[in-house]
Amino acid sequence: MSSGNVSYAVSQGFRFFLHNKVMSLASICVLASCLFIISNFFLISLNLQENIKVIEDKNEVSIFLNDDLTESDLTYIKLKLESIENIKTFEYVTKEQALEEYKALYADQQSLFADLEKDNPLPAYFRITMKDIRLFDETLAQLKSLNNISSIRSQEDLVDAIITSGNVISNVSIWIMGIMLVASLFIIVNTIRLAFFSFRRQINIMKYIGATNWFIRWPFIVEGTIIGIIAGAIAFLLQWYAYSYAFQSIAKSLSFVTIIPFDDVIGTAVACFIGAGMAIGVVGSAISIRKHLKV
């Protein structure tokens, strides 16, 4: 494509954009809103995954051992734990170490432990962390099948609730993002189609004198690109404000929730907003005029 053709396509693209001010503005508003909604659900999913990782790192399962455990039994359990693929780390805590942990936890009530020094009722146990919290139930079932285990302490209900919530949010996000993309394409298609009909006489003359379909198509693609870039920029600014203030306010009131700083994703966000806006604009433009050019 020559520089002259590029210049023509860009100038005509801006001309079409300005000619349909109302429809162009409507397209920008709808597309910006769609991109904003899509990004909100994406960021919610991203933060949810981050919190699942935090829980994976902090979540521990304790398996308490029988008091009559022998050295061979202990060795057998260690080998079994090593063979469970989803176990990230495990640490053996003796009865004496367990007592010291309790004494450290209740440092201001040391008198409660005076009699326990002679007759320690606390069991030895293994402290276990997992690689993938989504395999929690499966791994817990493997731990329950071990011999010489008196009891298991875990946050099974909490983990199940988090995983279920994560799956629901992810599925809802995918559906909503899909619906928003379709809505964005619909408004872009109709905007470009209106521009096409507004200039159809000029386009017919151009075709009559031998202009190629691509020569005619490029100005409309430029128009769609302009709409996409402006909408992407607006959506990015809205998201920046919403994330920096609303999301951070939630983080302050819910201190146990981990929020990814927007600065960590700002570069990716700019690329995604502008890239998605341009892509939707280009695809919408191509769809809207394809039938009329009989490509």
CA distance 252 to 80: 43
pLDDT at 212: 67
Q: Could you list the mean pLDDT of each consecutive 10-residue stretch along the chain, which spans 295 residues?
A: 64 73 80 84 79 69 86 89 89 83 67 63 86 83 87 74 74 80 78 68 66 69 84 89 74 66 79 83 74 55
Query: May I ask the CATH architecture of the domain 60-154?
Result: 2-Layer Sandwich (3.30)
CA distance 9 to 220: 8
pLDDT at 58: 65
pLDDT at 295: 42
Q: Are 102 and 122 in contact (CB under 8 A)?
A: yes
Please write down the HEC assignment for all residues of 2-27: CHHHHHHHHHHHHHHHHHCHHHHHHH
Q: Any idea where the domains of the chain sit in the sequence?
A: 3-55+161-293, 60-154
Phi, psi of 168 (to 5 degrees): -65, -50
pLDDT at 188: 76
Give the DSSP letter string of 62-114: EEEEPTT--HHHHHHHHHHHHH-TTEEEEEEE-HHHHHHHHHHHTGGGGGGGT
